[in-house]
Each structure stands twice: as structure tokens, then as C-alpha cells.
Structure 1
């Protein structure tokens, strides 16, 4: 391959150096007076970001035109910054954006003259095979580049910055260029490489196409229980011994590993649900994005459902789900690391540092022990939200000198399949004031230097020192032992320990570390015993009695896949109720051995076990063949108390055993539990269980909760509750319940009954009935409504109401046929036009545009709109007319598309305009348009929430309710390129008003 080096000309260098901003910054008032063009310029880049700690200083290391659109970054041991660019980001979904035919680039940027600014840029590799890579890791002579569906390894053995080889390490990981696919690799202190993928990853395969297998021989993919959604992995640097370490995340963008071997990462929620989280990643943990057993979406109603969406989002009340360390609400999290340098002030040392592109912020998280797990507080470092909300930090990395580098995607939006700017991108350096960027050439030739380099906070340096010391073998032992026994920094002591475990007789150091006074060193010892396959039962039994709960947690994780009853019982007997982290560790350890473990545990307690909260907690978490019966005993033993958690635990047991216990409880459970049982038990309306049906009928009328009432009436098809059902149709307090009730009413009583309901009142009652039943979206209702708006003997008010109700994905095709046949009265045609031009059906909308002329106006003057101020009040009205039909704003609206309650924090003004004008460019993951074809020939467009073993769970257009189809009835599910969100027929003034209102939606 020909070596290509791009040295910028004097003119470009002069332009770049002259653009450096005044390090003193400017005031908020001065910044506010800048034009948008000035704010976006490199000259004012530093001024657009607030550094929250006045001990620190932000400088600009590189920007456009040297580099653009950085998705991920690494820094090598020479202090050079490597960037994965994304000019061609999701180009197949962004036809308006130009592309580079030669593909995207991996750049190496260097400051050769010591002024703290990059002045040389090299192209390490360029090609369409790495378009929009989301991960880069530079480790020795290997460069790992993650770009779904592949992971490539480039080898530069001679160090000339030109790769001699490009090989596929993994394949078949998610869709092409997917944000929720494969992410970056990082080096762990144990000599392993750690990496992850998001919930589009689906599975992971070797280069030859063969799947990665777990220790039980199961393929690691989203179709194999217990594996679901996003996952975390570990492997040897050569790609061997791949292990799956945790699963059921949504979009875990990166994983960070500290010197004790503990893992940390962020996870993005379904957009707009304020559930972004930071996790301590416990080995083999299920993190609850989807239902562990069924794979159902978090919105699916369940017993013991959490009382807020941020908690509900992760199934946190379910047995078998590891808790969250911290929830940060709205966000689009990206890069993460554990800072183990000493350049930044002491309060950042050892802490987690994280970039979140959504709220334009870089934060530090300070963990503290919480039983066997952690909780954390937040300390902000860099904030662009109050000034430049194009600041989109995509990654954070530590340089060899200990300074923090932050890459900035710089865009009005945050990815999610769209981009608004292709020409900008920045890299910043954060360091104590007055500390220049200086990196000395590392010396890997002698052991003393290697031990110093082993302690470097830069991962590339740490990696090379680790590998070199392992290669030295016993010759490095004395120097490493000195660091291990005398270091005042326990993290560096741990680094020495990990290398010692790789030397001959390394297991001796595990035994030594297991008696260390520092519990974190003992944690590392247990982790190392597993990696080294120590297989010493006496060691594990000894560590199971450790005084520190976090050490005992590691022992529990270490015996997964091992039938080690004695160790597990010792651990279980140390459990104290309330420590959910340790309870989950016990569950992880017992997987596959619950029958033996639980029986032995309860036999030690004999009949007193139900009086022990610890024992009932362990039964709640258990999965043994006797667990359903034990849960039933707990439920019966405490009448009048809230038993929902134990009923929910039954959902995680063998289905026939669950049904048997629930039926037995009907005869003896408290009356208030009967409703729970009716909701939870399996029921087939086509072949009904008469006992259950009789109970449902006798109970329905007394159900106080309206949602419970609707669920029972629908599930058991109860027809003698017509009046209450009708009341719910007409009630105004909860539109969601009203819509549900209308659909149930229609399915139980039919269209003729609805027509009688509409016709039996005065004009006001008729209009109300039309509005309420008009929310039903099917062709029969469309025809019924047409009978009212085409009958000119009806009043104008009735006809208008019927026409306004004629909207809906399944209703609009009938309206369109009437329009084409000239059967819509002229006075109502403007309403029909408005409905059809904003239809969710892209094909119908296109036909309507051709028929009426493109009233949606694709030639907006965006530059003019960006400088215009609109009416927030008018914008709120427009949002009510358009947005609330499919989005939640606060407590109003329909939970169909992403929530908009804090959209002003996530998207800039430009991003908001683009999302409205070009909705197909930025479909959020999980909200893509899917075409479902059933085997009976039926087709419909929807959002697929989840697919379980037996069911396809979808949301139909404009509805917050989920609908379940049997997979056996589904022919195919195909993702469409067009968003379900229509291009609304709004004028420029209306668009400006709407965006002005949306900008106010902040936390």
C-alpha cells in the first residue's frame, strides 16, 4: 500500500493557528451577541463550552478542515490522536448528503512542534468498508476498527503508519453501519480486550461465520436464552477465548475497565423516556431492557410494574435483573473511561468520566459502595448546552501525560441515523491550567521503564508495557513484586498483580493477593482465579467467608457454571435482605443448579424459612422446580399484604407449574388477589377454562381500576359490562383509556351498535360519539364516518366532526378513494386534503401530493427560518394538532414515537427543523417503520416493540397500545426506509412557531 501523508500547507496552518480562541473566554452576554455563523466557527469553539471546574483549562487540539465528524477516538503511546471519521454516515438513509466515493478515513493527528495543536495529519486507512466506524483501538501493532457488521484488525508491524494487513476478526454483528451495533475495544488490566455491542448486534461470529459459543455450547445471539439485546464481551488479544460477560442492554456504547477488573458502561434508553443509565457491569448479569423470559418490551403491562418509566424501562422489579448504579434521565451517551492518572485534580482520580452527546456534556461519576454494588453522584466537567448545543462529545480518551481528550462530532443532532453537518468536527484537550501537552518517547527496553509505563493512564501505553513485561517472564518478577508490595496507589498495585499472575507460578500471587488488607485487591484475586482457572475449592470456600461483601460477590460470580453447593450455601447464608446486588450475584451463581442449591438452603432452615426475609428473597429470585409451590406458600402466608412481587416471580417459572399454582390459589387466595391471578394466568378465549371465565365475569363489575377493568374485559371477552365500557369511551380524563375502550367496544358489539350510539342523541351527543368512536382506526369505521360527512342533510358541525375523525393509517385509504372519486363535499375537501397530506402512509401521502400539489412545500428557506423567532403559544397549538397524535409531551399525547418532553435539550434548532422537514433521515432506533405481512394476506405498517418466542408485539400508527400477533401467523417483517412520521403541510411561519415551542421543552 502506498504511504499517504497529508501535511497541511503554510496557508492552512496559518488559518488554523489564527483561529485559536482567547483562552480567557467570553461572558454569556458576549457569547449571546455572536451570530449563529460566528458561534459555529472554530474561532469561538472554546467559548461555546463551559468548563465547570476553574482549575481546568480547555484547549482546541484539532478541528476542521484537518478532520471532520469524529465518531470515536484513541490515543497511542506517542500521544498521537487517532480518529474514525464519518463523512459517509448512514449515506443510504441520507440521500440529500454528498458522499466520498473513496470512503471514510482513519486519521492520525500529531502535534509535532509542541504547541498543543495538531499540525500533521496522516491517513492510516480509507475505504467504504469502514464508513462510519464506531470504534477504534490502537494496541501495539494492531488497530481494531468496529464497523457493523464487521470488526477489522489492521496490522502495522513495521510502525510506518501504513497497515500491511487488514483482517476480519468478527462478522455478522448487526446491520450495516448501525449505531446500535459493534462498539469500541479497550484493554483490561488482566491482559484481555473488552468490547460490547448494542441491541442491533443480534449475535457475534468468527471470521469464518461460525458463532461464538458460551461454556455450555450455546451460540451467543439474541435468539438464545438467556442472551438478549446489547452485550459485553472479553477475549484474548489474538481473538481467542471469547466470553460473553453481560447482556440485555439497549445501546451500551462503550465499556470501561478499571485496574481491579471491574466493568462500567452507560446505556441509552428508548429515545425520550428519561431512562439513560450508568451501570456497574456484574459478570453474567441480565440488565433488563427486555423481559428475560418472553423478550417483551418494557411497555408491556405486567404485575408489580415499576411506578415510573425510568425504572420500568429496565424491568427493575423483576427477579433476575441487576440494579442500575445511576440513572441520568435524558441522554445519548457515548464514550466512557475510568481515569487512573494523576494529572487531573485528585477528586477525578479513580472516577468514571463519560461523554453524553444528547445533553452536550462531559461528566465524572463518583461511585460509592452500596452493599455488593454501587451508587454514584455526578460532577460535571464540560457543558455545551447553555451555549453551543452543537457540541456533541462522541468520545473521551486519556493521553499518556494524563490529560483528557474529548472528540466532538459537532452537529445539530446526535446521530440516530441522521446528520445535519458533514464539514465540522473538533478534538479538545482538558488539563490543569498552565500544563502544556508534552509526551516523551516511551522506552520499552528495560524493566524499570516498563514498570513505570505499566502505570500510565493511557491504554495504548499500558497495553505495550503489560505485554512486554509478560514476555520478560521471571526477569520482571522482582520489579513487579516491589510495585505490588510497596505502591501507595492501590490501582497500580493491582496492575502489578495482574502481570504477576501471567508469570510462571502466577497462581501463587493470587493466593498472596487473597489475604491483602485492601478488599479491592482481594476482589482482583478472585477475578484472577477465574481467568487463570485456579480450580481450588478450598480457595473459593475461604474467600466465601471474606468480611467484605464485594469480595463475596466475586466468589458468587466465579462459581457460575460450577456445581459448588458448599460455597454457594456459605454465600447465601451471609446474604442480608435489601442487598439486591448480592441477591442477583447469588442468582447468577445458582443458574443451572437451583434444584440442588435451594433445597439444601431451605433444609437448613426447616419450617421457619417463611419467617426469614432473607429466605423469601432467595425464593423470589430462585428458578427451581419447587419454586412455584414455595411462592404460593409465601402468598398464602401473608393475606392482606402486597404480594405482587411474588406473583411476578411466577412469570419466571416453568409455564405449566405457574398455571397450576395460580389455579390452586384461586380457591384460597385473598379476594384482592383474584384480580391479579385473572390478569396473570394464561387464558385461551377460543377454548376457555370455564372456572376462570366464570370468575372473570363475576369479578369484572367490581374492579376499581379502569385499566384493570379494560384488560379483563378484553382478555375474557366479557359482554355484560357494556354500560361501564361505554362510560370509559366517553370519559375525558384519560384519552388512552377512552381509545382502548372504544376498540374493545367495537370488537365486542360491532359497527351497527356504534352507529346506534352515534344516532341516538342530540347534535352535541352525536358529535361527541363521532369523536370518541372515530379513534377506532379501521375501514368499517371509515365507511361509517363517510356516511355522516357525505350526507349534506347533517349539520355542518356533525359533518366536520366526522371528517376530522376520518384520519388513521387504516382509515385514510378509504378517504383517499372518495377524494379521487370526487365524493367528498367541496366544503370539507380542505380537511380531507390536510389529513391526506400529513398521512402516515408514505405511498398515500405521495399520491395526495401529486393530486393536490405539494402543499407540504419542500423548498423551505431554512436560513431565514433559523434566524426567525416564532410564537411559542402558536407552536404549542400546532404541537397539539400534530405532535401529540403520536408523541408524549409531559403527560399529554400518545406514546407511539419518541417522547418529546426534553427534545429541546437533545436537538438544536437546526436539528429540530431537519427532524420535522426530513423525518426519514433521523428515525430513532426502535422506531423504524416495519411492514408486517400476515399469512392470510393482511399487510400493515407499524413499529415493532419486541419479538418473543411466540409473539410479535407491535404498536400501530397513532396508538400507545401494543398489539400482539402470533408469530405462527406472520409471513414476514420488513424494515422500510420511510419514516412513519409524515411531512406535515406546514407553512414556514407555522414551522418556526412549532420549533420555537419545541426548543422550550427541556428538563
Structure 2
């Protein structure tokens, strides 16, 4: 017996063996927040529509997906045993025989389901995704169906072979998927008119193993045709023939893509989820071969949309839990919904509507309208689909919270219908036995109906061609598209050639897609049978594809580019290369999606071909974009430049109104060089860079060079930076930062080059760049700078002395050791520590001969009462970085020898230790005084009380255990844990309380602690904010950033322990907790974190014309105050004017929130009208509709400010009921 057959028998026994159970089968008592009839009254449909309850518990419980069949019946998958490895406790217990597929019917046409049939049950652990494929015979009689369901490690097929609505044949279509018993596995099945099955696979996190342990596990699948496909590229969009052959990866590097939706033209869209606080949930327009940037190596951002090679999102939806997705191809709900995306958003409790506007190679959209939204905190829409009459059906998981694999209810679930007011129930009436009936069914908004009609027409073969061709040539665009799929399945590819001249560009794009689509080679693909590797279709139909090379529509040309990406450049006399030159030349210099398609087709071409595209900058001869004309274009910075997308914020996206600047041959050439990231393009940029006079152009050029791997590029960059030092230190600073980062990796061979040494010497002579020079010295790892560092340690600048000492400890430990001891001794008897002493404590681990000696020396510092408390605190932190040190802290605590002032801090540090044994020891040896040890059962009644949100806000921001020390809310606070700006939308009070009390219960995947063991014995833990080939940057629980060269890491792992310690509410009284919950539950307004600011009037920072916020939404202002050799103005007299445009979807009152240090004075104006900031640096904004409002900030240093006391960062956020967008340029 084959392994596949054995799996099938085991699954069949598990599922069919439990059919004897009742259809509701769950606990008898429902614990709903509201009864379904009451919840309906809280739901708010779009104007002109109404909402009607179709089904509720106990008929349906915990729905995960829904589908509609050709007879108007609603299919639903249920997930009662959802992630029990995390949730089985209290009222959440295993429901044997649960996790079903049900069929719901409204037999009496009163609008509500009254009949339920259990199609299959006992689908362990939980069915995710649902697609119903019905079968009819030649006379239109129903024969049965095949139902596709995701249930990692399998993609399952449940087959009803005799039409009795019972699954009697069950087997895995494919097996080998990860994300077992996790949301991050297989889901999102959709039947497509090309005859394939499309589905999604999350990033495989938390995949439960037989021993109950978890690991990240993607997939390793051998399909029925012999294709062996593996992936380690996080989440993927996938497709396969329905017989299990030609399994392929369409696109990768997503996070947790719940569902795919296709339009009739073959356009693909995916809803992708992100952790709370990241503001990163999104919908993407999927390209064949596309990569979507999640956790891009080398990018400090959560989504590397600023990195060439990554496709940006179509729309950002902020925080939430995006689930089901559907393209609405009917106007039954209203003309404004025709062609729009409908997205079920369980986190924000609404069905989003995103109308699509075709622009360039993709679409753009706007947000704002919802099809349905709810005020019941338990309303959790997880899927949306369309019925035969065009009304929408919405599945409601109905629970107090979503996310982190947690839930709290196994007894409730609802399905609602959204329809035009006055809607009346009806039954579909389809004739699957005649050609006219099949064409009518093909026009249905129901996917299963379309699919059944298409397969019936295909089964008729050539006899159906004339009927189908008539619709393909004369129907509406959507009808033509559906008919074209069927026509080509019957008659081959020639019908696509006919429709390649269609007046609608979407149909022409579809024709190119059909002619050029090949089975993807993404991922690690091998072939167990030679016949599985089929010839390239695009090669066979090349001449037909080339007729579309000059199509006026960029989307059509994009599809041609993707078709050519695997074809040899010189095929058939160079036809492919010639076509690619023309397709490159037609790029408008602004369209990121078109550029990414070009990158896919060009990135592996011959060097000579790439060089020819760009031309020779030394002679001034241009490539495909024409002469560069550097004398003119090198000074023109107000042009469209990479990344051609607002990558400064996770929720940013392009709307139809957004525009870029003009283009020049130079700007287009830079854009192409940026995307291709080749040795040839880097050499071209290095030749051009000295001629670039505008800072915006130089910024892009330096970014391109910073991605190059050739050390010779680093040498050229060092020389250019040295030349810049005299005229513009800021311009040199960015080059120095690039060199400091790259010398530890690709440019290692340039460490000792004279050009690097010259740059360091000149930078050290420039006061504003000495700190930057130290980073460059550290990157060289060269002992030649020891004397220079000793001189700096003896200087006057406290911070520079400290940095120099830590750098010296890295380069020459023997030389640094006596200087460290001297600094520590000088601190003795002082009332306060100083930067040099603190740096000495941090350096001791690196300088000691062994971990034991480091432990002993640091223990002496920690317990020495003659040393200042700040220095002893640094010793405590250093001890906490390695195991022997932790043991010492705990021993001191147990013997009551730990300084009383530091017990609380020690407890906080060790409460988030990745090893549970250490946490237990800390709880025992470092007890908090008067701890109440309160748990959820003690406090649950507090969630029902009303509190004072303002008091809760004050407690959050400035209480004795201020939450804002780790969490950012609406522009205030730190960004260690998730941003909680909209947490009130996602969780009810009881769930908020549960997460505070048990932070390890449902940790966001991207907030799991990374633990690294270093070669010198240190153990460090924190959240990764940058993870590249050269370095890892961790953010610790106390907000520090630690930069770790990858070469110094011996081992790394991931912990399931939250950085948020347990027991945070132990010292809070009941009223304080009630007020905190009231405040958190009130956080529902949207927040626009400004990610880019235009520098309008820099007095002496000519190379800075734009500021970009870091991943935490903060702008570094230090570069604006770098000393300019030509400036004689004192700091207090200098100012900088910054500007950003704000666009509101309607007239509304918003709140501006600024976050800056005490050393800054800020003046604010909106459209030139001055505004008054309150003591918290906040003010009200009256935003207009339909235009961009200019927000201006004028910054000055306070006369009393100094570099040590004034935080040089700025945060800008706009809080509003409706989303506000930001832009640097007026449309």
C-alpha cells in the first residue's frame, strides 16, 4: 500500500468514524456576549443596504470559512478545537467529533437557515479554507462534489460520490505542509476558471510537532506529477491542478495570507495578516514570481518595501486580523461595489470595501467605506462571499478576541446576509443540461456555479466552442474574460490570440497571461520524473506575445515581461532581448510594479546586455532612456526616485490621487540601476555619483552603492566621502554609515585600504563626525587606531570618550583594561556616574579572561556602596547578560545582599528571561513586596465595571509602572512591545485583562524574544529590529539597542516568553485596573504616524532635503544640527522648517501628537495658520476634505538645551476617527 493511500485510510477512519454524532455536538450552554438577534441590531451596513441574520448557534459554531453552491446552499467549516495546545483550560475543552463541514439551507425562503446537513466531521485539528466543486451530468443532474479544505500538513479533498451530501471518499490531495495546528499553515482555497485550485500557506510558525513542541515549518511537497517543491521563504501564494499535478509557488515572502481572491481576468489578490502594533496588515496584488518583502534580510523595517526586489502592498489596513477576501463582480449591492475588493476584518470588526482603479501595471485604491461594521465587541467577521443574487454572506467567528492563536468561546457563531433594503429570498435556478443554461450559470456571481458551468462546457468539447466564442467576443468584459478561459481550455491557445486585440486592457492582459504562463520555478524545485519538467509555453507562443510588446497599457506589457523572464536573451536571433529593451524603454520612471516586473525579467541577464541598457556615463551616451544630459539633470532633484512608494510606514500605500515628480533620463536610469542591483549597475552609479549635485539624487546613488557586494565600490565611496567632508559633513555621514555597516561583510577586503584610513582621519578632524568615525574604526577591526582612541578617551566630550573606550575594548583589550579600571576607580565616592564609567562596566565582559572573572568583577561593582547607583545599575545589566552573572544576581537576592534600590529592576529584567527556570528562581529569590499574586479569576468582574478613561490614560503614561515605558499609544510612549493605538477595536475588556495577566499566552509572532549566545560567553535577548548578513540589532526589555556583529554569534534561538513580565497588576488597586481597561478599550481612533518630512528651510544642512523616520516612527534630528564649517550661528538661533501634507477622507477634527525631548521648541501651523500646542505637545487639527492640508513644524533648540540632556528625536502622529494619509508632495 502506498504512503498516500495509507494516509487516506487513516484520515477516512478518523473523520467518517465520527459521523454518528449530532449536528450541533458542542456544549449545551452558549455564553454569547449578546444573543444573535441583538447583535444584528448593532451591525451597521453601508447606505442603502440591510443586514439579516441567516444562521446562528447552535446551528453554526466557530465558522472559519463559508462558500455557496449552485443550489444556493451555504457551506461552512467549523473550528471548535482551535489551537487547543494553547487554549485547553477552563471552559475550553476538546469537543470530540467537532470541526465539521456543514451545509445550511433556507428551505422555506424566510431568509433564515432551517436545515443543516453534516457533510464531514472530526477534521482534526481545524479545517481552514473551503472550496466546493460540484459535478453535474450531461443532462444537468447533480452527481456530487469534491470539497477542498486546508488542514496542515494536508490539503484535503472530501468527495461525495453519489450526491447524498455526505463525504464518502476522503484523501489528501497534497501533503507535506507546515503550520500544523496553527493559523499559519494551509488555507484560503479558491476554484479558478483556468481549472486550477489556488490557495495560500502562511509562514509556518508555531507548527506543532508530535511531542507538542513547536517550530517554524514551511513545506516540502511532492505532487502527483513528480514536482518536488520546497520553500523557506515564509508565506506563499500557491496553485495546483485539481488532480494534484503541477503544484507551484506563485509568490512568496508574505506573512500569514489568509485567503486569495481572483477576478475573472485572472488577477490575484491576497489578504495578509501582521502582528498587532505593527500597523502592517495589508492586501497585495499578486504577480507571478513576486516577492512581498516580509522580514527582508538587511532591511530594518518589518516589511522591506523600500528594498528593490520586493513588491509593495496594494493597500495597508493597519492593525487588525484580515481574513476572507472576495472580488465583487456584481452591482447587486450598488454600482459603487462593482469590481471592488471585499475584505473580512475580524480584528477591526468590519467588512472593508476597496474600489480598484487601474493605474500602470497594478491598481490603486482608497479606504474608508465599509460594507458592514459592528459595535458588538464580539463581532468577528472571518469570511465574506456572494450568493446567487449578488447579496453578501458574512461568517462571524464571534469571540471576545482574535490573534495569537487564542480564543475563549466554543459555543457561538453567526452568518449574516448583507443585501439591498427590501431584499426578498429566492432560490437559484440553473440549467446545467443546455448550452444556454451553462452560459447563464457562467455569469453567476457564485464561484461554485461558474466552475460547474465551465467544467460542463469543457466536457462538451468542440461542440461548445461556437456558444462560448459568441460570449467571449460579444459579452461584457467580465463575461468575455470568463468565456475566454473556457474557450482556451476547449480549443487551445489560439482564442487568446484573438482576444489579444480586445478593447478592454484587462482582457488583453488576460490573453498575455494565458499565452505566457508557465509552471513557476519559484522555491526549491526538483523533478522526480523527467516528464514533470514541461517545455516553456512562452517560448512556443513567443511571436504571439511579441505583438503585445508595444501595448499602450502598462498592465498588458507587465504580463508580457513576466512571460519572458525565463526565456534566453538571444533566442531566435535575439527577439527576446530586443523585446526586453523596448519593454524597458517604455517604463514611465514612476511605476514600481512595472519596474519590479522588469527586475524579474532582467536580473539574471548577461552583463553586456545590462550595460547596454544603461549606456556609458563617461561619454554622456544614454541607454534605452536617452542621453543623460548630466549638466542639467544632475541638479534636478524634484523628480520621481526610488522606492516609488511610501515605504516609511507599514500602513502607507498609494491612492489614485498620489503623484510623483517628473522624470528625466537620469532619474529613470537610476531607478533601473536601483532595481537590478548588479555589479554592472553599481559600476555605472559610481561613475555618475561625482556629477550629482542634488542631495536627493546622491541619496539614491549611495543607497545603490550600499547594496553592492564589490569591495572596490566601498573604496570609491570612501574617496567620495572624503571629498565631501570639506563642503558638506552631512553628505559624508551617510557614506560613513554605509561603510561602517558593509566593512563587516561584503566589503571586508577594503578594511585596510588607504582610502578608508584617509576618511577616518578626516572625519576625526570634523567634530560633528567623530562619533561616526568611531563606528568606522570599529568596523575596520584594525589596531592601527589604538593611539587615536586613547587620545579621544582623554578628551573633553563625555559621550565621545565613552564610545572611544568601548571601541578600544573591541580592538585592543589589553590596552583598554587599565583605562577601564582607572575610570571605575575615579567614579568611587562620586554622587553620580558618568558615561566613561558606565562604558567601563559594559566593557568588562569583553575584557575579562573568563566569564567567571567577569562575574566576580561585576559583582564587586554591584555591591560596592561607594560607587554611584547609576554605575551599579550598569553592572547589574551586564551581569544579566550571561548565565554566571544571572546566578550571581539571584544568589545576592536570596542572601539579601542585592542593593535594595535595584531589586525591582533586577526582578523586571529576569521576569522576561527566556528560561522558565530562571523566571521561577527570580520570583522566589527576588520577591516583590506585598505582592497580591492576583489572577484572572480574581479580577474578571472588574472588566464589567465602568472606569475613567482619562485616569486610565494618566496611569498608562505616567503611573508607577507606566505601560508607556514599553508600549506606544497614539504617538506617545516607547516601542518595545506592540503599538496599542487601536487595541480597543480588537479586544473586549475581559480579553485585554487576560493578555495583561498572562502575557505569554498569545505572543505576537514578531514579538517573540530572540536569544543569542556570543563567542565571549554573553547571552543576550531582545526583539530583532535589524537582522542582516553583517549584524543583528536587538531591542531589550529596558529599551536599549544592542548591535551584535553576526561573526560574534555562536548560537541563536527564539523564546516563547514575552518581554512583558507577569504580575504587572499585582500592585494595582481595583479602581486603577478598571480605569486602565476603560482607557485601553477606548483606543479605537486611527493613527497616522508620519514617516517622512520635507526639510523646507535648512539653515546649514544643505544635503538634507528629506527626513525619514526609523522603524519606530521617530525622526533623528541630529543630522539637522551637524556643524557646518560655513555657519557661525549658535544653536539657539538656528531653526529648521519641516512640512508634510495631510489628506482626510472628509471634514473632521483630528489631534496632532508630537513626541520630542525637552530641549526643543516647536511651532506648528496648518495651511499657514499658527496653532497652539498644549503642555503635552498636542493640538487640534481641523482637516478639510478633498485637498492636501500643509502641516508645518518649525524647530529650534532651547537656549538651555545641551546634547547630553536633550533627546534628538521627533515623533509626529495624527489621531482621527477616519484614516488620515500623509504625503510630501501636493497631487
TM-score with structure 2 setting the length = 0.69
- Partners of 1:665 and 1:729 lie apart in 2 by 25
Paired position in structure 2 for 1:88: 81
Give the alignment of 1:682-693 within 5 angstroms.
682-684=742-744, 688-691=751-754, 692-693=756-757
- The question of 1:678 aligning with 2:736 is answered yes
Paired position in structure 2 for 1:332: 321
Between Structure 1 and Structure 2, how many residues are aligned? 939
Quick check: 450-459 or 406-415, which moved more? 406-415
- Partners of 2:908 and 2:714 lie apart in 1 by 51
- Partners of 2:268 and 2:857 lie apart in 1 by 59
Quick check: 926-935 or 263-272, which moved more? 926-935
Distance 1:211 1:592, change over 3 A: farther
- Partners of 2:452 and 2:242 lie apart in 1 by 12
The CA deviation string for residues 411-460 of structure 1, in whole angstroms up to 9 with x for no partner, is: 22222221233332221111111213323253322211111111111111
Q: How many Å apart are 1:833 and its aligned residue?
A: 6.1
Distance 1:942 1:349, change over 3 A: same
Paired position in structure 2 for 1:817: 891
1:139 to 115, 133, 136: 133
Distance 1:829 1:629, change over 3 A: closer
Q: How many Å apart are 1:126 and its aligned residue?
A: 2.7
Secondary structure of the structure 2 residue equivalent to 1:247:
strand
- The question of 1:204 aligning with 2:219 is answered yes
**Is the 1:71–1:86 contact (alpha carbons within 8 Å) kept by the matching residues of 2?**
yes
Distance 1:265 1:684, change over 3 A: closer
Distance 1:979 1:477, change over 3 A: same
Distance 1:149 1:923, change over 3 A: farther
- Partners of 2:1014 and 2:245 lie apart in 1 by 43
**Is the 1:204–1:211 contact (alpha carbons within 8 Å) kept by the matching residues of 2?**
no
Paired position in structure 2 for 1:61: 54
Paired position in structure 1 for 2:832: 765
Paired position in structure 1 for 2:503: 517
Paired position in structure 1 for 2:1205: none
Distance 1:340 1:708, change over 3 A: farther
2:191 to 169, 187, 200: 187
- Partners of 2:1026 and 2:870 lie apart in 1 by 40
**Is the 2:148–2:156 contact (alpha carbons within 8 Å) kept by the matching residues of 1?**
yes
Give the alignment of 1:379-528 within 5 angstroms.
379-382=368-371, 384=373, 387-487=375-475, 489-504=476-491, 506-528=492-514
**Is the 1:317–1:645 contact (alpha carbons within 8 Å) kept by the matching residues of 2?**
no
- Partners of 1:55 and 1:104 lie apart in 2 by 36
Q: How many Å apart are 1:285 and its aligned residue?
A: 1.9
Give the alignment of 1:907-986 within 5 angstroms.
907-932=987-1012, 941-943=1021-1023, 955-959=1035-1039, 961=1041, 963-964=1043-1044, 966=1046, 970-971=1050-1051, 973=1053, 975-986=1054-1065
Give the alignment of 1:49-198 within 5 angstroms.
49-51=43-45, 53-96=46-89, 97-102=92-97, 104-127=99-122, 129=124, 131-140=125-134, 141-198=145-202
Q: How many Å apart are 1:210 and its aligned residue?
A: 11
**Is the 2:129–2:189 contact (alpha carbons within 8 Å) kept by the matching residues of 1?**
yes
The CA deviation string for residues 968-994 of structure 1, in whole angstroms up to 9 with x for no partner, is: 954563x44443432124235243343
Q: How many Å apart are 1:658 and its aligned residue?
A: 4.5
- Partners of 2:796 and 2:988 lie apart in 1 by 44
Distance 1:237 1:123, change over 3 A: same
**Is the 1:782–1:806 contact (alpha carbons within 8 Å) kept by the matching residues of 2?**
no
Distance 1:230 1:700, change over 3 A: farther
1:587 to 599, 614, 630: 599
1:48 to 14, 30, 42: 42
- Partners of 1:209 and 1:969 lie apart in 2 by 42
The CA deviation string for residues 734-758 of structure 1, in whole angstroms up to 9 with x for no partner, is: xxxx9x9997798686797488469
Q: How many Å apart are 1:339 and its aligned residue?
A: 0.7
Unmatched segments (≥5 aa) in structure 2:
1-15, 135-144, 206-216, 519-536, 569-575, 623-627, 630-664, 846-850, 1087-1227
The CA deviation string for residues 937-974 of structure 1, in whole angstroms up to 9 with x for no partner, is: 7655544668767876655544463644647954563x
**Is the 1:565–1:596 contact (alpha carbons within 8 Å) kept by the matching residues of 2?**
no
**Is the 2:57–2:411 contact (alpha carbons within 8 Å) kept by the matching residues of 1?**
yes
The CA deviation string for residues 895-932 of structure 1, in whole angstroms up to 9 with x for no partner, is: 43322233233322122111111112211112234555
- Partners of 2:319 and 2:805 lie apart in 1 by 33
- Partners of 1:776 and 1:95 lie apart in 2 by 47
Paired position in structure 2 for 1:649: 704
- Partners of 2:346 and 2:415 lie apart in 1 by 14
Paired position in structure 1 for 2:589: 577
Paired position in structure 1 for 2:645: none
- Partners of 1:983 and 1:573 lie apart in 2 by 59
- Partners of 1:110 and 1:910 lie apart in 2 by 35
Q: How many Å apart are 1:264 and its aligned residue?
A: 1.4
Q: How many Å apart are 1:527 and its aligned residue?
A: 0.8
Q: How many Å apart are 1:404 and its aligned residue?
A: 0.9
Distance 1:619 1:81, change over 3 A: same
- Partners of 1:998 and 1:710 lie apart in 2 by 44
**Is the 1:725–1:741 contact (alpha carbons within 8 Å) kept by the matching residues of 2?**
no
Q: How many Å apart are 1:632 and its aligned residue?
A: 0.8
The CA deviation string for residues 41-66 of structure 1, in whole angstroms up to 9 with x for no partner, is: 32311123222x23111112222222
Secondary structure of the structure 2 residue equivalent to 1:407:
strand
- Partners of 1:257 and 1:835 lie apart in 2 by 49
1:904 to 984, 995, 1013: 984
Q: How many Å apart are 1:330 and its aligned residue?
A: 2.3
- Partners of 1:857 and 1:378 lie apart in 2 by 43
**Is the 1:726–1:745 contact (alpha carbons within 8 Å) kept by the matching residues of 2?**
no
Distance 1:569 1:699, change over 3 A: same
Distance 1:284 1:635, change over 3 A: same
**Is the 1:173–1:182 contact (alpha carbons within 8 Å) kept by the matching residues of 2?**
yes
1:621 to 652, 657, 675: 675
Q: How many Å apart are 1:211 and its aligned residue?
A: 9.1
**Is the 2:1033–2:1041 contact (alpha carbons within 8 Å) kept by the matching residues of 1?**
no
- Partners of 2:771 and 2:97 lie apart in 1 by 56
Paired position in structure 1 for 2:352: 363
The CA deviation string for residues 699-743 of structure 1, in whole angstroms up to 9 with x for no partner, is: 15637489956754653577355589965599xxxxxxx9x9997
- Partners of 1:265 and 1:286 lie apart in 2 by 13
Paired position in structure 2 for 1:735: none
**Is the 1:185–1:196 contact (alpha carbons within 8 Å) kept by the matching residues of 2?**
yes
Distance 1:114 1:770, change over 3 A: farther
Distance 1:87 1:938, change over 3 A: farther
Secondary structure of the structure 1 residue equivalent to 2:704:
helix
TM-score with structure 1 setting the length = 0.84
- Partners of 1:793 and 1:114 lie apart in 2 by 85
Q: Of the two structures, which has the highest relative contact order with CA contacts closer than 8 Å and spacing of 6 or more?
A: 1
The CA deviation string for residues 16-67 of structure 1, in whole angstroms up to 9 with x for no partner, is: 9xxxxxxxxxxxxxxxxxxxx885332311123222x231111122222222
Distance 1:179 1:722, change over 3 A: farther
**Is the 2:828–2:867 contact (alpha carbons within 8 Å) kept by the matching residues of 1?**
no
Quick check: 715-724 or 459-468, which moved more? 715-724
**Is the 1:139–1:460 contact (alpha carbons within 8 Å) kept by the matching residues of 2?**
yes
Distance 1:714 1:107, change over 3 A: farther
Q: How many Å apart are 1:858 and its aligned residue?
A: 2.7
Paired position in structure 2 for 1:992: 1074
Give the alignment of 1:294-333 within 5 angstroms.
295-296=297-298, 298-299=299-300, 312-333=301-322
